[in-house]
Structure 1
Amino acid sequence: MPKEKSVKKSRIHQDIQKQGIVFNKDFGQHILKNPLVITSMIDKSALRNTDVVLEIGPGTGNMTVKILEKVKKVVACEIDTRLVAELQKRVQGTPFQTKLQILVGDVLKAELPFFDVCVANVPYQISSPLIFKLLLHRPLFRCAVLMFQREFAQRLVAKPGDKLYCRLSINTQLLARVDMLMKVGKNNFKPPPKVESSVVRIEPRNPPPPVNFTEWDGLTRIAFLRKNKTLGAAFKQSSVLDMLEKNYKLHCSIRNIEITDPLNMQEKVTKILEDLNADQMRAKNMDIDDFMKILYAFNSADIHFS
């Protein structure tokens, strides 16, 4: 039986070569070919037979058919119509045909359906926007097991003080628990990418943190623009003060709050930071609680970041 499966798999790859399908670098197409890595990713997903699984970039379906064996339904999102045709051909006439739904198009623009688990070998150029699209999707999913470029994965799990700690780290960790699962060498792909990869597990915080993510994102954007600078210096930039003043005036006008004249935004901002002993803090060393306190203090003074 295993021999029959491997013959079938190689036949599928030969069919693709006969059709002249060249993997498209613009779509970040690097097909995961090592069955051990595929099996390990699926095992780490702890799939249940009642699950709906979202797979992004199924490629030729090597992982898709393995997932279909274990779950109720797979929704596969694929941008390349040539690979969609291959995937459809692969399940045609099998019990998997009715369990597979294919969304054709760009996953970043697609309206995602309900799903329990997401499994994906992610095209590297969409890594960051994809994570936040998934984490802001409702209802919340149980977990995602995703393959990323190694340095990107290291940024996801970086802690305050780490060299790779950045806005991506804190924004992701606000919304989810992130664990590094395994390293995957470039030779496990066809064609091999130029970089090494890693697999991470992302589990959304449920319930989500009581914070307006757009506001949070605005604050961390300012703080991490120069993560080695003090917050006092970051908030002295005229572009930052102009944005905060504009938002402040809009907020006050909507809520009929009288603005004391003359308005000195620099003074207001400095006082908030100094009262929190935060003016000498640097983003590179700050954790989620630090930013929560600062965001709460600014919002309490009617100063907003979005």
Structure 2
Amino acid sequence: MAKLKSNKRNNASSASSPYAKAQATTNNVFKFSKDFGQHILKNPGVAQAIVDKAYLKPSDTGTGEVNYLVPIFSAADLSATRSYKSNITFLVLEVGPGTGNLTARILEKAKKVIAVELDPRMAAEVTKRFQTTALRNNLQILLGDVIKTELPPFDVCISNTPYQISSPLVFKLLSLPNPPRISVLMFQREFALRLTARPGDSLYCRLSVNAQFWAKITHIMKVGKNNFKPPPKVESSVVRIEPKMGSERPSVSWDEWDGMLRICFVRRSRTMRASWLGSKEILSMVERNYRVFCAMNNIALDDSVIGEEEEDEMEVDGGADEWNGIEEGDEMDDDTPAFFKEEAEKTARENGGKTKSKKKKTRVAELVREKIRKVLEDVTELADKRAGKCDENDFLRLLAAFNDEGIHFA
């Protein structure tokens, strides 16, 4: 039988038709942004496992009054907003809903989902996905940066977290006055391992101490890169964070605790003596804090000059290289205080990484230095111990001893 001749003209016309273009657009709605860390979770089994590990209860409720602008997504204007104020039931906060694959699983169990999305395109996409379903009234989209947004009350946080906000998100959740009872979060695997690292581990850092001091951290499961679209360059893990509540919650100032740890972990492999007494920047900062404390408590200080420090050269630390093999553009959880980084950049430009120091030596400065030495050597006996090997009790003793000497970090 003779073969039918194909109509090339018709085929070409069909390929270039508006319908074909529309179909292509549907298959590729928009290009995912690496700046926003957009790796969409496409495996429904993983999405279901994440929601299951959050232990959502249909009977759970949480109420709170909100008063902020909520974006209204429409075909005409994606930037329109309306004022919203009401007592409403909140339950789950989702960070970065993307196209809504994880959101759909959460909505099956949650009474209310608040999804915070930075990308307006994604926010419009997830809104469109549910606007014709019965679940549309259970979903609210907040357009903005979750780190900078004032969040309404919520009970549970679930997130396929963009890598670059991993550390800020954890710290924000833990420092909330009323933290969520459970957070189930997906992170880059190495970051997740830092959350659960113990003293002496290679990944043990300020993040490890803070997270485990304020919450119980559990590694739930590993997630391969092929479960995402587009696939990231690194593997991921899901962790569950359960903040300590009630009598278990430490009665310690978050700012005091974290401020002290920042100094301890400037270089976690250094001894405490070197970290505290070997840096003039830290000594100056502690001296300023001590002066503020004395001023607030009407304590007189002898600020007389007792000499002048000799001009010398001092190495300035630019940042702890605690995060290796990270994907470009992803979260680098550098524990170095900002003033160290600024000083390092300045001195690197001017003196090749070295700076000269010459200042008047006062009795207050000597007093502060002696107080630090006393705490490290006499009271806690931690002077020769390294931060990477100290546990929670060591840091608690250190903070209590500093506070007893009038040295604070908030």
| The one of 197, 200, 213 aligned to 2:236 | 197
Partner of 1:22: 31
Task: Write the distance in 2 (CA, Å) between the matches of 1:228 and 1:141.
Answer: 34
**Which TM-score applies when normalising by structure 1?**
0.92
After TM superposition, the structure 1 stretch with the greater mean CA deviation from structure 2, 142-151 or 92-101, is 92-101
**In the alignment, what sits opposite 1:77?**
116
After TM superposition, the structure 1 = structure 2 runs for residues 161-200 of structure 1, keeping only pairs within 5 Å, are 161-200=200-239
**Residue 377 of structure 2 is aligned to residue 270 of structure 1:** no
Deviations 1:169-189 (A, max 9, x none): 101111111110000000000
1:121 equivalenced with 2:160 (yes/no): yes
Q: Which stretch shifts more, 135-144 or 281-290? A: 135-144
User: Which of 25, 34, 58 pairs up with 1:49?
Assistant: 58
| Counterparts of 1:159 and 1:205, CA distance in 2 | 18
For residue 281 of structure 2, what is the aligned residue in structure 1? 239
What is the rounded CA distance, in whole Å, between the counterparts of 2:129 and 2:208 in structure 1?
Answer: 38
1:299 corresponds to 2:364: no
Residues 20-59 of structure 1, C-alpha deviation per residue, up to 9 Å, x if partnerless?
4111110000000001100110111111113410011111
Q: Is the counterpart of residue 104 in structure 1 residue 143 in structure 2? A: yes
1:50–1:71 Cα contact (<8 Å) kept: no
Which residue is equivalent to 2:267? 226
Please, what TM-score do these two structures have when normalized by structure 2?
A: 0.69
Following superposition, the deviation at residue 305 of structure 1 comes to: 1.8
Q: Distance in 2 between matches of 1:279 and 1:106?
A: 41
Q: Gaps spanning 5+ residues in structure 1: where?
A: 1-13
- d(CA) in 2 for partners of 1:304 and 1:106? 31
Alignment equivalent of 2:301, drawn from 241, 248, 259: 259
State, as a whole percentage, how many aligned pairs show the same letter: 55
Shift of 1:17: 4.0
Whichever residue aligns with residue 26 of structure 1, its letter is D
- Deviation at residue 81 of structure 1 after TM alignment: 1.1
Distance 1:16 1:176 in 2: 45
Alpha-carbon distance in structure 2 between the residues aligned to 1:15 and 1:67: 29
Distance 1:186 1:38 in 2: 14
Match of 2:45 in 1: 36
Task: Confirm whether residue 216 of structure 1 aligns to residue 257 of structure 2.
Answer: yes
| Residue type of the alignment partner of 1:240 | I
Deviations 1:96-126 (A, max 9, x none): 0110011011111111111111110000000
* Partner Cα distance (2:24, 2:193) in 1: 37
- Is 1:290 the counterpart of 2:394? The answer is yes
Counterpart CA distance in 2 for 1:210 and 1:192 is 42
Which amino acid counterpart does residue 374 of structure 2 have in structure 1? K
How far, CA to CA, are the matches of 2:29 and 2:153 in structure 1?
35
Superposed CA offset, 1:78-98 (max 9, x none): 111111111111111221011
Which residue does the alignment assign to 2:318? none
Name the amino acid aligned to 1:229.
R
Query: Going by fraction, where is helix more abundant, 1 or 2?
Result: 1
Counterpart AA for 2:292: L
Please tell me whether the aligned partners of residues 78 and 102 of structure 1 are also in contact (alpha carbons under 8 angstroms): yes
CA distance in 2, matches of 1:141, 1:163: 29
Counterpart of 1:32 in structure 2: which amino acid? L
Larger radius of gyration: 2
Q: Give SS of 1:181's match.
A: strand
Determine helix, strand or coil for the equivalent of 2:185: strand
Checking the alignment, whether the CA contact within 8 Å between 1:160 and 1:285 is kept in structure 2 is: yes
* Cα distance, 1:137 vs structure 2: 1.8
Query: 2 CA distance for matches of 1:193 and 1:158?
Result: 23
Cα displacement (A) at 1:18:
4.7
Whole-angstrom distance in 2 between the partners of 1:140 and 1:184: 26
| Residue 304 (structure 1) shift | 1.2
CA RMSD of aligned residues (A): 1.4
Counterpart AA for 1:48: K
Residue segments in structure 2 that go unaligned for 5+ positions in a row? 1-22, 61-90, 304-362
Deviations 1:142-165 (A, max 9, x none): 100000000000000000000110
Count of aligned positions: 293
The letter of the residue matching 1:209 is P
